């Protein structure tokens, strides 16, 4: 039975669990919690191990490009959105509308109602379909575990006993999930929690990861501030990132061809992208972010 099938059965069971007597309720509650936890941890681990494989590999493992989940700012403003001939008040109206579109911190605390699309280039992640499915299953499992008070209490009890708040890979997943939900203020808090976890590791453990983790945190902080309409903080984080990023080496003066963009049926401002967490990919993204800040400020 697939993880998707297990999760579907647990969702069905949750519809009737409140109708059972106390003994049956306890029995089925445990079944839902443990089965859903299996789906959650397995798929969350699968997602993180693919976007950040170096966390789980030795120093001699094949070099795989890490990925970071970001707002696809390259699609927020197009020629149809911002025209040089538009009046200032129209630009301001566009900016205000974009802020409401991208951030749901003050609108929907659960974040469940947001329908978002994640894109990734095949060249960056060969098994992208499976990885995005893992992200979806883990996210839906998490939501199910917090959908009923009895499930919430049992899951929280287990997480406390396992000290899951100290698991670096799990915090990476939770941060991405919160960004997906559009809960950007919470995402910023989660990124600070992530930084504290990284600092608690020994120097031997973070020697190869420190620079990557710092870059990942800064670019995600920048994109969160941008989504909240906090453009000054966005620029500050981008400049901080520029101070620690390594400039990419030019390959014989060749300019990398831009990937053809597939027109999305989703409204602008709602798309996310798994971006290569490398200097070559991050620097153009930072430029898009800065330009977007200037266009709306």
pLDDT in tens, 102-157: 555 654 544 454 678 999 999 999 999 999 999 999 999 999 999 999 999 999 99
Q: pLDDT of 245-274, one tens digit each?
A: 766 555 544 444 444 443 434 344 468 999
Burial class, 288, CB count within 10 angstroms (exposed 0-12 / middle 13-18 / buried 19+): middle
Greater confidence, 187 or 19?
187
Could you tell me the two tokens for 43? 């798929």
- Spatial distance between the Cα atoms of 100 and 95, rounded to a whole number of angstroms: 9
Find all residues with CB under 8 Å of 206, minimum gap 6, and list them. Answer: 198, 213
pLDDT at residue 164, as a whole number: 96
Find all residues with CB under 8 Å of 143, minimum gap 6, and list them. Answer: 110, 112
Query: What is this structure's pTM?
Result: 0.81
As a whole number, mean pLDDT of residues 234-240 equals 94
Under 8 Å between Cβ of 108 and 114: yes
pLDDT at residue 206, as a whole number: 44
Under 8 Å between Cβ of 240 and 217: no
- Spatial distance between the Cα atoms of 78 and 217, rounded to a whole number of angstroms: 27
Under 8 Å between Cβ of 127 and 50: yes
**pLDDT(10) > 90:** yes
- Spatial distance between the Cα atoms of 166 and 189, rounded to a whole number of angstroms: 15
Q: Please state, for a pLDDT cut of 90, what percent of the chain lies above it.
A: 53
Strand partners, 106: none
Under 8 Å between Cβ of 90 and 296: no
> How many C-beta neighbours within 10 Å does residue 268 have?
16
């Amino acid at each position: 039975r697939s993880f998707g099938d297990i999760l579907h059965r647990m969702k069905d069971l949750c519809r009737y669990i409140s109708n059972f007597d106390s003994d049956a309720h306890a029995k089925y509650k445990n079944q839902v919690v443990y089965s859903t936890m299996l789906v959650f941890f397995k798929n969350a681990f699968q997602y993180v191990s693919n976007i950040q494989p170096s966390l789980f590999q030795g120093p001699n493992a094949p070099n795989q490009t890490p990925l970071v989940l970001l707002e696809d700012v390259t699609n927020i403003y197009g020629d149809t959105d911002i025209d040089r001939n538009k009046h200032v008040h129209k630009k301001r109206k566009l900016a205000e509308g974009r802020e409401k579109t991208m951030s749901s911190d003050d609108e929907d605390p659960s974040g469940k109602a947001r329908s978002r699309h994640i894109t990734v280039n095949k060249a960056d992640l060969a098994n992208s379909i499976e990885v995005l499915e893992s992200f979806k299953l883990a996210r839906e499992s998490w939501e199910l575990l917090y959908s009923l008070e009895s499930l919430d209490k049992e899951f929280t009890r287990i997480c406390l006993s396992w000290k899951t708040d100290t698991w670096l890979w799990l915090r990476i997943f939770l941060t991405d999930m919160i960004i997906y939900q559009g809960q950007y203020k919470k995402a910023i808090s989660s990124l600070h929690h992530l930084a504290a976890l990284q600092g608690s590791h020994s120097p031997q453990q973070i020697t190869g990861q420190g620079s990557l983790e710092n870059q990942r945190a800064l670019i995600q902080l920048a994109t969160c501030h941008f989504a909240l309409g906090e453009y000054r903080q966005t620029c500050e984080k981008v400049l901080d990132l520029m101070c620690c990023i390594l400039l990419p080496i030019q390959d014989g003066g060749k300019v990398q061809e831009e990937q053809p963009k597939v027109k999305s049926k989703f409204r602008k401002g709602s798309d996310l992208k798994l971006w290569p967490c490398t200097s070559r990919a991050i620097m153009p993204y930072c430029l898009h972010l800065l330009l977007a800040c200037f266009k709306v400020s």
